[in-house]
Structures are given as C-alpha cells and as structure tokens.
Amino acid sequence: MHPLRSLILAAAGNDAIRRLVATAPVSRDVVRRFVAGDRTADAIGVTRDLVASGRSVTLDHLGEDVTDAQQADLNVRAYLELLDALHAEGLSARAEVSVKLSAVGQKLDERVALANASRVCAAAEQCGTTVTLDMEDHTTTDSTLRVLAELRRTWPSTGAVLQSYLRRTLDDCVALADTRVRLVKGAYDEPESVAFRGHEVDLGYVRCVNALFAGDGYPMFATHDPRLVRIVAERARWYDRKPGTYEYQMLFGVRPDEQRRLAREGETVRVYVPYGSQWYGYLMRRLAERPANTTFFARALVSYS
C-alpha cells in the first residue's frame, strides 16, 4: 500500500484528527462530492437522478463499526425506511442496498449481525430488490462469508464482495463463481502477510475476473481503474458474455463521465451511493485512494486549524 494511503488510514483512527475533520467547514464540500446527504430523501433524490441517466444504484447507509445493539437496530431501521421509500418511488428495480455487517452488530456477535441482516434481506425481497454485503477488513472475511452463506439459504441472490488484494481471494472467487459477486481491489490497510501490494493487486484482480467469468454467476466489477475496465471488456468478449450478464460498478462522485460512457454503450453500470451522517470512515478511505484529493483537503484543514 502507498505510504500516504497507510498514513491517512492510520489518521482515520485518531480521535483528535477525527474531531478536527468532522467539524471543519471545508469537510462539507469534500463530503458532498462523495456522499448523497444525511437523509433518506437525499439518497432517494440522488438515486432518481442516476436512474434517469441510465445508471443503476446500490445504496449504503453509513454507520460502520457499531458496538451497541441499539445503534445496530437504528441502522437496520434506516435500511427498512430506505427500502420502503425506494419501493414507493418505483426505484427498486434499479436500486439495491449495500450493507456492512459491522453496522448491524458484527462486532457484538455474529448471530446479531445475521439476525439484523436477515431483516434487511426480507424487506429488500418484499420491495423487489436485493442486498449486497460489503466486505470490511480481513479479520472479518470468514465471519462475513459465513453470514452470507446463511443468508443465501433464504435469499440466494444476496451479493458477496471479494477483495483482490487478499491472497486468499482467488480461491474465494472460484468457490463463489456461480453466484452474485462484486469484485473490488480492497480499501483497508492490510498487513503483507495476508495482502498483495501494488501491481500484484491488479494481477490478482485480473485472475479473479477470469475466475468469475468462467462461472455461471453474475459478476459485478467495481473499479475505476481504466486499465482494468478495458481488461474486463476484453475478457467479457472472450467469455462471450453479453452486457446485462455482468455489470460495472463505481462510486458516487468518482469518474462520472466514464460511468455515463459505459451506460451509453449499453453496459449495466451501478453507482455505489453512501448517505447518512456517519461519513467519516468512508471519506477517509476515499481520500486515501486519491492523494490529489488529500493534498487539497489537508491544505484547507491546516488553514482552518
């Protein structure tokens, strides 16, 4: 991992920095670029615009790393309200939800997370849409895949996320290749004992693209990397996959022109849209991905403090 990226992710755990960033007025502008807003209505508004422009959506209610049952329950309720609103607005055919198990109680107990995620999956099914379980740091991978397997007994279309930076992931891709899987590079600061570095992460991504296309599942390629987007297109032709039998995914606020270009070409493009007041951890991971964003943000913070 790039040293600046590690530094930003480490700073994300520092309380003094958290307070400074969360209260600085400049945060608002940077946040607005990557986060739809605080409220369900904000999420619905952004979803409506994206769908009108030919893109699909997956919505993430921000609020990871919950350590009490009440907050986990509030996060579940936020998802239920969102799903109802998507249904009422006629958006659920084009918009699903992404759930982090740590937001619904994974740190308390895996069974709590399973029960809470089941509530969200049941509501999503009623509203005519699906859930994808985001993947968090590597210490949670086995637990998340166990919960996923349980959820899929009742809701087989629940999406998995696999991270190409983990050394284990090619095996996971082969095992899950007949199912709905989002492939990402991975956003957490992982030790070298479990994670590849630099170019190896990209090589791992390409190997996983092949493994997923070789299966009968529905792969979802989440990357903004122009080279990987080209390779996915080439591999789709090689495996004779038609648009609609796989999809591209990108984050809200990142490479929107590329999102529109792919959609115009007839590809399914899903935009990951986070919303809610707990945006800090999410923003830090986005800044860590793009040192140019960070330099701008850090200068503004220094002048503010």
Active site residues: 134, 182
The yes or no reply on residue 12 touching ligand FDA (CB under 6 A) is: no
Nearer to ligand FDA, 1 or 82 (CB): 1
What x-and-dash track marks residues 223-252 binding ligand FDA by CB under 6 A? xxx-----------------------xxx-
Nearer to ligand FDA, 10 or 16 (CB): 10
The yes or no reply on residue 187 touching ligand FDA (CB under 6 A) is: yes
Q: Are 132 and 161 in contact (CB under 8 A)?
A: yes
Least CB distance to ligand FDA at residue 155 (A): 18
Nearer to ligand FDA, 92 or 98 (CB): 98
The yes or no reply on residue 196 touching ligand FDA (CB under 6 A) is: no
Bridge partners (DSSP) listed for residue 98: 60, 132
CA dihedral (172, 228, 258, 90) in degrees, to 10, reads: -20
**Span of 6-14, 36-44, 46-54, 182-190 interacting with ligand FDA by CB under 6 A:** 182-190
Closest CA to 59 of 42, 74, 71, 73: 42
Total number of residues binding ligand FDA (CB under 6 A)?
A: 23
Amino acid, single-letter form, for residue 220: M
Which tokens sit at 108? 């308390």
Bridge partners (DSSP) listed for residue 58: 96, 272
Least CB distance to ligand FDA at residue 25 (A): 21
**Span of 67-75, 185-193, 231-239, 295-303 interacting with ligand FDA by CB under 6 A:** 185-193
The yes or no reply on residue 188 touching ligand FDA (CB under 6 A) is: yes
Least CB distance to ligand FDA at residue 110 (A): 18
The yes or no reply on residue 272 touching ligand FDA (CB under 6 A) is: yes
Among 87, 138, 180, 185, binds ligand FDA (CB under 6 A): 185
Nearer to ligand FDA, 82 or 160 (CB): 160
The yes or no reply on residue 134 touching ligand FDA (CB under 6 A) is: yes
Least CB distance to ligand FDA at residue 216 (A): 22
Report the interface residues with ligand FDA, using CB under 6 A: 134-135, 161, 163, 184-188, 222-225, 249-251, 254-255, 272, 286, 289-290, 293
